[in-house]
């Protein structure tokens, strides 16, 4: 067996969280067991995804759902489903969308590098609103009427990036989409915990909602969830499956074969295939995630951070616990007078420590305990103390 040492890779202490660049969350043991068990037998992937859809529906209330190779893949597939529907000719064209409705309306302050996943489908984003709050030029954010005013004959959908502070409200945007029969694609990649967000966002009326599977759920890093209306989930599944079969033998499972005028070929999502092992591992992790006490789990993380805070305080290092509510992931903001330098020193130290770097310009190193292992806590504290030291 090849291990990290054989490749001269030094594992890191992950105090940053479930970020992709550090491999996501630790895999739950039940997910690891399910991965191994699933590897021992062959199954028909379309049948497996269809059975998974039924289980996801029971768990979340969605009409349908599939496992994807990450939240970004879910966004590309969700957008492709909205663009192509059940039309094999449109599926064949993607990402070339010049001859079909292809614009997705999005608030300007919802834009980020992650929306490249939506654009990869062939969708073109049409921005509405202004960044007045960020630019310091005003107090207003994008308003519902601006979405409605942007709808034209080439509007295919609406992209909504969901966070606790997103504006306007998802309900207002979906109401506009419903009024004009425009599907809404929701990016909720990082909106877990709490587990209740799965059912809550599915019930919003969105066409499809994308979640990450390798963050708080504790599944394989390269997994995600796409939940929503069956017509779109069925189209997304078709555009990621191996379609190398005879039309005479083809029996689509999530969609009615009468809805098609021909059998699609390999779709734009073919490169996003998900292994049977990853599917079963994520389903096992999700089962645990949905049935555990999330408040208790978050309290454990807060307790770990409080212990770290006490150790740092003894060394004269100031920090502040940020835990907005018992369902949210707690974080510890550590004050540093040379935050960028300290962050780099920690990354290159022995042991190597990665901390959250989102507030370095404010002199803060952010600690998230969700990926921390118990035996790493002493080394983490010692590294922080030796790097930051007592303030002058």
Half-sphere exposure of 32 (CA within 13 A, CB side): 5
Kindly give, in sequence order, each residue whose CB lies less than 8 Å from that of residue 324, ignoring residues fewer than 6 positions away: none
For residue range 163-173, what is the model confidence (pLDDT) as tens digits? 999 999 999 99
pLDDT at position 392 = 45
The alpha carbon torsion through 61, 63, 64, 70 (nearest 10 deg) reads -60
Band the pLDDT of 253: cuts 50, 70, 90.
Answer: confident
Asked whether the predicted pLDDT for residue 391 surpasses 70, the reply is no
Cα–Cα distance measured from residue 48 to residue 165, given in angstroms and rounded to the nearest whole number: 37
Helix H or strand E segment including 117: helix 116-119
Q: What is the pLDDT of residue 260?
A: 83
pLDDT digits (tens, 9 = 90+) for 16-56: 999 999 999 899 999 999 999 999 999 999 999 999 999 99
Reading the block at residue 385, the tokens are 């103390």
How far apart CA 50 and CA 222 sit, in angstroms, is 20
Q: What is the mean pLDDT of the chain?
A: 96
Interval 184-242: pLDDT, tens? 999 999 999 999 999 999 999 999 999 999 999 999 999 999 999 999 999 999 999 99
Q: How confident is the model at residue 389 (pLDDT cuts 50, 70, 90)?
A: confident
Please give the share of the chain, as a percent, with pLDDT higher than 90: 93
The per-residue b/e assignment along 34-44, b for 16 or more CB within 10 angstroms, e otherwise, is bbeebeeeeee
Instruction: Please report, for residues 20, 29, 176, 222, 299, the alpha-carbon distance to residue 26 in angstroms, rounded to integers and kept in the order given.
Output: 12, 9, 40, 13, 18
Give the CATH number of domain 42-291: 3.40.640.10
| Amino acid 135: pLDDT | 87
- Give me the phi and psi of 124, to 5 degrees please: -115, 130
Cis upstream peptide for 310 (omega within 30°): no
Structure tokens at 70: 């990450």
Under 8 Å CB-to-CB from 64, ≥6 apart: which residues? 53, 56, 57, 227, 228, 229, 230, 233, 234, 254
The CATH number for 5-21+293-388, chosen from 3.90.1150.180, 3.30.710.10, 3.90.170.10, 3.40.47.10, is 3.90.1150.180
Tell me the domain boundaries of the chain.
5-21+293-388, 42-291
- Entry field: residues in the chain: 392
Predicted pLDDT of residue 258: 80
- According to the model, what pLDDT value does residue 390 have? 52
What digits encode the pLDDT tens for the residues 119-153? 999 999 999 999 888 888 999 999 999 999 999 99
Residues contacting 244, CB < 8 A, separation 6+: 266
pTM here is: 0.95
């Amino acid at each position: 067996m090849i291990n990290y040492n054989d490749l001269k890779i030094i594992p890191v202490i992950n105090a940053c969280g479930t970020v992709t660049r550090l491999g996501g969350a630790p895999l739950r043991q039940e997910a690891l067991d399910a991965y191994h068990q699933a590897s021992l037998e062959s199954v028909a992937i379309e049948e497996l995804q269809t059975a998974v859809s039924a289980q996801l529906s029971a768990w979340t209330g969605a009409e349908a759902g599939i496992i994807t190779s990450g939240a970004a893949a879910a966004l590309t597939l969700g957008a492709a489903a909205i663009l192509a529907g059940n039309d094999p000719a449109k599926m064949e064209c993607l990402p070339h969308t010049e001859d079909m409705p292809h614009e997705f309306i999005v608030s300007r302050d919802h834009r980020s590098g992650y929306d490249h996943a939506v654009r990869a489908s062939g969708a073109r984003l049409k921005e509405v609103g202004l960044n007045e709050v960020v630019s310091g030029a005003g107090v207003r954010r994008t308003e519902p009427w601006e979405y409605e005013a942007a709808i034209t004959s080439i509007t295919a959908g609406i992209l909504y990036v969901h966070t606790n502070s997103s504006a306007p409200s998802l309900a207002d945007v979906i109401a506009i989409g419903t009024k004009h029969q425009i599907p809404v694609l929701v990016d909720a990649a990082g909106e877990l915990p709490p587990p209740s967000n799965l059912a809550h966002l599915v019930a919003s009326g969105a066409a499809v909602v994308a979640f990450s599977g390798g963050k708080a759920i504790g599944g394989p890093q390269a997994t995600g969830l796409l939940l929503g209306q069956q017509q779109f989930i069925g189209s997304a599944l078709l555009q990621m499956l191996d379609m190398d079969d005879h039309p005479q033998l083809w029996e689509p499972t999530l969609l009615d074969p009468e809805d098609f005028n021909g059998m699609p070929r390999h779709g734009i999502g073919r490169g996003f295939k998900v292994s049977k092992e990853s599917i079963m591992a994520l389903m096992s992790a999700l089962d645990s995630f949905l049935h555990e006490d999330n408040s208790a789990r978050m309290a454990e993380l807060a307790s770990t951070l409080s212990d770290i805070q006490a150790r740092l305080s003894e060394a004269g290092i100031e920090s502040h616990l940020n835990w907005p509510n018992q369902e949210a992931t707690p974080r510890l903001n550590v004050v540093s007078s040379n935050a960028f330098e300290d962050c780099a020193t920690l990354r290159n130290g022995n042991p190597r420590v990665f901390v959250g770097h989102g507030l370095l310009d404010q002199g803060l190193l952010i600690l998230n305990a969700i990926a921390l292992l118990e035996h790493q806590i002493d080394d983490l504290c010692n590294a922080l103390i030796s790097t930051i030291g007592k303030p002058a």
